[in-house]
């Protein structure tokens, strides 16, 4: 089983004295993209990133500023990673994630938890064109799928659509692709809220690593944040988890 998750926009470069970083699988291609970004003006980058002038200037400086490598799973600071809390993982949890968890990235392609990364801003859906490609989906092609997929194994999707499509569109019947859906019932229909889904995905990774889960049946035992598996609404390629009504979750950090 391979688990795929999305990155987060907010990053840190604190490094880690407890973990030795590994080299990203697509390091050379990441450097190619970084050089492409360095060749662009601040105005071009701001348009590409779709952010404020202040954020554009900050990320523009990071392109050429020295920074220490940080293990990927500790580098991202979004809601998903806050609920995952890898900073307090046991060695067994790190070993589990090293074997099963992969982070999809617009810049790095595929990252293992201990791969050393530098701060960057480049979402997968960014319209970054270059020789032979018009966007990052074209740049990466099926290379991310080929790196993750192994015959006889299956993929558990905890990534957003923006990132999961880089893998799902290339899936073949011998590599099942199963997506976890986290939502609430509204008028008998499952409604998914982005923030709640990110929280649940982080909790799910922590749950899987804590219990060393590798089979579909055990995944269905997930009950964090008031969620419960809904067998009736689930399908072969979807595991649906419904949040109990009346249970509030604090998303403030």
Each residue's pLDDT tens digit, 115-169: 999 999 999 999 999 888 999 999 999 999 999 998 889 999 999 999 999 999 9
Q: Across all residues in the chain, what is the average pLDDT?
A: 92
Say if 199 falls within a structural domain: yes
In a domain, 250, yes or no: no
Classify residue 10 as left (phi > 0), alpha (psi -120 to 50) or beta.
beta
Nearest to 26 by CA among 126, 165, 143, 124: 143
pLDDT at 252 over 50: no
The answer to the question of residue 251 being in a domain is no
Please tell me the predicted confidence (pLDDT) of residue 13.
79
- Helix, strand, or coil (residue 154): coil
- The answer to whether residue 248 sits within a structural domain is no
Task: For residues 180-200, give the mean pLDDT.
Answer: 94
Q: How many domains does the chain have?
A: 1
CA-CA-CA-CA torsion for 132, 137, 139, 141, nearest 10 degrees?
Answer: -100
Of 3-12, 122-131, 240-249, give the lowest mean pLDDT range: 240-249
Burial class (CB in 10 A: 0-12, 13-18, 19+), 245: exposed
SS3 of residue 233 by DSSP:
coil
**Which range marks the domain in which residue 234 is found?**
2-243
In a domain, 26, yes or no: yes
Residues 27-40: tens digit of each pLDDT: 999 999 999 999 99
Q: What is the CA radius of gyration of the chain?
A: 18
| pLDDT recorded at residue 241 | 98
Q: Match 């993750």 to its residue by tokens.
A: 148
Is residue 252 in some structural domain? no
Residue 89 forms part of a structural domain: yes
Q: Is residue 249 part of a domain?
A: no
d(CA 198, CA 70): 22
Q: Does the pLDDT at position 253 exceed 60?
A: no
Structure-token pair, residue 119: 């701060």
């Amino acid at each position: 089983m391979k688990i795929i998750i999305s990155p987060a926009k907010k990053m840190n470069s604190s490094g880690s004295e407890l973990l030795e970083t590994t080299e990203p699988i697509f390091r050379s291609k990441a450097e190619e993209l970084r050089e492409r970004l360095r060749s662009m003006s601040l105005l071009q980058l701001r348009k590409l990133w779709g952010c404020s002038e202040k954020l554009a200037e900050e990320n523009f400086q990071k392109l050429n500023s020295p920074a220490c490598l940080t293990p990927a799973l500790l580098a991202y600071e979004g809601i998903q990673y806050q609920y995952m809390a890898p900073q307090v993982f046991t060695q067994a949890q790190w070993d589990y994630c090293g074997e099963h968890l992969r982070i999809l990235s617009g810049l790095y392609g595929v990252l293992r938890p201990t791969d050393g990364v530098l701060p960057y801003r480049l979402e997968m859906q960014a319209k970054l064109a270059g020789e032979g490609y018009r966007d990052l989906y074209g740049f990466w092609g099926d290379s991310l799928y080929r790196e993750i997929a192994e015959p006889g194994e299956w993929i558990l999707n905890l990534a957003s659509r923006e990132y999961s499509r880089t893998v799902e569109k290339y899936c073949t019947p011998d590599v099942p692709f199963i997506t976890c859906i986290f939502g609430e019932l509204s008028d008998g229909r499952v409604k998914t809220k982005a923030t709640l889904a990110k929280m649940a995905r982080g909790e799910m990774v922590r749950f899987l690593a804590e219990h060393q889960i590798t089979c579909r049946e055990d995944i269905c035992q997930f009950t964090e944040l008031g969620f419960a598996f809904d067998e009736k609404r689930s399908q072969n390629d979807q595991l649906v988890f419904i949040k109990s009504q009346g249970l509030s979750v604090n998303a403030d950090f």
